Structure 1
Amino acid sequence: MKTTIEHNDQIIEVDLSKPIDISIPLTNTDENPIAWYIEKPVIEPVVFGDWIGKVSEGKSSTNFNNIFFNPHGHGTHTECLGHITREFYSVNQSLKQFFFLAELVSVVPEIQGDDLVISRNEIKKALGNKTPEAIIIRTLPNFKIKKSLKYSNTNPPYLAEDAAVFIRESGIKHLLIDLPSVDKEHDEGKLLAHKEFWNVKDVNNLNANARLDATITEMIFVDDTVEDGSYLLNLQIASFENDASPSKPILYKHRML
């Protein structure tokens, strides 16, 4: 069913019945992706004595599970600059709007020594003259195994510092990527891409022009059937008062009227 919405003084026609989900589900199986040296998530019923919160066990009328997970290491998540600052900032307070005009781009990381790096030139070439509110970066090759990879100690590709500067200077507020981090896995805590994207000069004393309303979403997966181009992005998070939250980014094809 097609509908029209007004966004930033533009009228957009969109079919909300055809969502394109680019999040990775969180499970307690070996299919769950993992980063940052932790184990897989735990999803298990609450136990009180001989009572088990699982209908199939025959001792409960409801399924009543505890879930233990880490948003940064266990799947698709959205984070604010509170991820790297001494002072606490919550993604739930930073992200107050949820629909954005987004550009999906596919890039091939460049070999630089022992690393694979997404360069400024690749991002600039992929965007052309477009200045969307959000950029969605799909790295190539785009194997489906990304949805269940164990990233720890594998030195995944990452975003070059000047590429993050370019994205920030282009006015893009929301960066989504199919990697566990925009930064190098072992970088001595420099976090250069994070800092440049959020314009954080000193994590201990936040500068006035730091981007409090900008977000980074990591560990997405965009299927090959989804073409590069412009989309309407719905970026939803769980209401955690934390630097990061599991999230469910959804794309919609649209046209301007």
Structure 2
Amino acid sequence: MNTIIQHHNTTYQVDLSKPIDISIPLSNTDANPIAWYIEKPVIEPVRFGEWIGKVSEGMSSTNFNNITFNPHGHGTHTECLGHITREFYSVNQSLKQFFFIAELVSIGLEDQEGDFIVTKDALVSALKGKTPEAIVIRTLPNDSDKLSRKYSHTDPPFLAEDAALFLRESGIQHLLIDLPSVDKEKDEGKLLAHKAFWNVTDVKNLNPEARLEATITEMIYVPNDVADGSYLLNLQIASFENDASPSKPILYAIANTKV
């Protein structure tokens, strides 16, 4: 059943009973994706001496786990410009609205001297003049092993600097992509795409034009049976006062958008 939603003076019809979850769940198994040279997450019960916070152990009436993870390396996460600045900025303070009109685009990667890149030309062609609030980039090929891929030392694909600049100049506030980073894995700390998208020219002294409210969400996964097109995006984060938070982006098909 479609629900009528008013967003920026435009009316949309969406079926809220049919969410499309494009996040990757976090687990303490070998199936969890990993980037940036760390080990898999740890989820384990609290222990006080011989007492174990696990119902199946017979000592506790509740399951009471500690979780150790890294938002950047262990799955779907949303980050703000505080990820690259000397001064602290929190994604929890940067992201204050949670519903956006998003365009899902599938992008073939271009081989440039052994690097596979999301180019500006590919984005221009895919967007066809649209300027949504958010863009969701599904890179091709779109293998399901993205759900559990081990990215460290593999030089994954990334976003060209001029492609990130194009997205910024198009007014797109929220960038979602199925890669561990918009930048090259080993780039000597240049972070060209991050800086271009957030309009950060000096990480030590933030320039007035820097985009405090813009976010980048990495390590999503969009199934192949979800068609390119316009969607209502619900971008939710956990309330961490940190540069990044694990997140759960959800797409809802807008009436006449096929899924």
Equivalent in the alignment of 1:227: 227
Tell whether 2:36 aligns with 1:61. no
Aligned residue type for 1:161: E
Q: Which residue of 2 aligns with 1:116?
A: 116
**3-12 or 147-156, which deviates more:** 3-12
Give per-residue Cα distances to partners, 1:86-115, cap 9 Å, x unaligned.
Answer: 000000000000000000000111000120
Map 1:71-220 → 2, pairs under 5 A = 71-220=71-220
Instruction: Determine the C-alpha separation between the residues in 2 that align with 1:48 and 1:182.
Output: 42
Alpha-carbon distance between aligned partners in 2 of 1:209 and 1:190, rounded to the nearest angstrom: 19
SS of the residue aligned with 1:255? coil
Secondary structure of the structure 2 residue equivalent to 1:180: coil
SS of the residue aligned with 1:116? strand
Q: State how far apart, in whole Å, the 2-side matches of 1:117 and 1:148 are.
A: 21
Aligned residues: 256
Normalised to the residue count of structure 2, the TM-score between the two structures is 0.98
Determine the C-alpha separation between the residues in 1 that align with 2:64 and 2:254.
40
2: CA distance, partners of 1:52 / 1:229: 49
The residue matched to 1:205 in structure 2 has which SS? coil
- 2:52 partner letter: I
- 3-state DSSP of counterpart to 1:211: coil
Which AA in structure 2 matches 1:62?
A: T
SS in 1 for 2:166: helix
Listed one character per residue, the Cα deviations across residues 126-156 of structure 1 (whole Å, up to 9, x for unaligned) are: 0001110000000000000000000000000
Query: Can you give the 5+ residue segments of structure 1 that lack an aligned partner in the other structure?
Result: none
1:251 aligns with 2:251: yes
**1:36-89 deviation per Cα after TM superposition (whole angstroms, max 9, x unaligned):** 000000000000011100001111100000000000000000000000000000
Secondary structure, in 3 states, of the residue corresponding to 1:130? coil
Q: Which 4+ stretches in 1 moved above 3 angstroms?
A: none
Partner of 1:194, secondary structure, is helix
Q: Could you tell me which amino acid in structure 1 is paired with residue 4 of structure 2?
A: T
> C-alpha separation between the residues in 2 aligned to 1:55 and 1:12?
46
Give the C-alpha shift of residue 2 in structure 1: 1.9
- Pairwise CA distance, 1:255: 3.3
TM-fit CA distance, 1:5: 1.3
Offset from partner CA, 1:24-43 (integer Å, 9 cap, x none): 00000000000000000000
- Output the TM-score relative to the length of structure 1: 0.99
SS in 1 for 2:193: helix
Question: What's the Cα RMSD here?
Answer: 0.7
- Partner letter of residue 29 of structure 1? T
Task: Structure 2: give runs of 5+ residues left out of the alignment.
Answer: none
| Residues in 2 aligned to 1:211 and 1:129: alpha-carbon distance in whole angstroms | 22
Residue 25 of structure 2 corresponds to which residue in structure 1?
A: 25
